[in-house]
Amino acid sequence: MGHSFKAAAKVLHMVSNSGTKEPDPLGSVLDLHVASLVFGGVPVLGELSLTVKRCETLALVGPSGVGKTSLLRIIAGLENGYRGRCKVSGLVAMVFQEPTLLPWRSLRDNICITTGTAPIDADQALADVGLAGRENDFPSQLSLGQQRRLSLVRAFAVKPDLLLMDEPFVSLDPELVEEMMALFAKLRAAHQVTTILVTHVEDEAKKLASRIVTLGGSPAKVTGDVQNKGAYFQLSASGVTSSKS
């Protein structure tokens, strides 16, 4: 139960975490400068800067353990032990590597309690990701793929200005990864939310991101920052709504 409460606390933190000011419709959503981040005397992040414009989808890539998640946690406001500054314009939501659901509440409640969404809108959101008719079920009744669908649509229900995603497709088989990427692309196209996606899978970055930033070295710094013209699939109007995952 202790682990579940910690997971719930992380979720509630994210949906209530607002930026430093009202969103600027023409400006940047994120203005970040890290001078350093040290864990146990070991430098993890070196000096780096990152600015993300509204409606960008940025993939943060690099080898495992380089510091991608640490950087995402700084942006999320979950890591304060760094030197530097982080300014976010507007509301932030986050999708963690694990679904971090409320196991003792229904699927509907997992959206309504954490985001303030009305029940009728929560039911529609569930239908949008292939979970129609499952409103009163509990997370333990879902497959891992379905739990990740719930986690993803819950983050979109916040209507954030900045969506952070930390390897949201990890531990899924290739077929379900493709399905989840298509679902994200569909939701992202509908909501036009600025997104930062952490991944170590090159294919995910190329399919989902309009910009790819690479971390490398020790301590980690930005070693690459390129625009990606091949982002996003061409989705049908019906999108991906299968509940088989």
The token pair that represents 145 in the structure block: 């793929």
> Is the model's pLDDT at 237 over the cut of 50?
no
> Is the model's pLDDT at 238 over the cut of 90?
no
For the chain, which domains are there? 29-227 (3.40.50.300)
> Is the model's pLDDT at 20 over the cut of 80?
no
The residue with tokens 């304060």 is: 80
pLDDT digits (tens, 9 = 90+) for 31-41: 999 999 999 99
> Is the model's pLDDT at 2 over the cut of 50?
no
> For residue 49, which phi and psi values (nearest 5 degrees)?
-130, 150
> Is the model's pLDDT at 234 over the cut of 50?
no
> Is the model's pLDDT at 181 over the cut of 70?
yes
> Is the model's pLDDT at 159 over the cut of 70?
yes
pLDDT-above-70 percentage for the chain: 83
Band of the pLDDT at 26, cuts 50, 70, 90? low
> Is the model's pLDDT at 241 over the cut of 90?
no
Alpha-carbon distance of 213 to 219, in angstroms, equals 16
**211/237: higher pLDDT:** 211
Mean pLDDT of 169-178: 86
Mean pLDDT of 145-173: 91
Mean pLDDT of 143-148: 92
Confirm if 126 and 86 have CB atoms less than 8 A apart: no
Strands 92-95, 82-88: pairing kind: unpaired
Residue 227, classified by CB atoms within 10 Å of its CB into exposed (0-12), middle (13-18) or buried (19+), is: exposed
Mean pLDDT of 99-124: 95
The token pair that represents 115 in the structure block: 């985001």
The pLDDT score that the predictor gives to residue 57 is 92
Alpha-carbon distance of 162 to 15, in angstroms, equals 11
Q: Which DSSP symbol is given to 18?
A: B
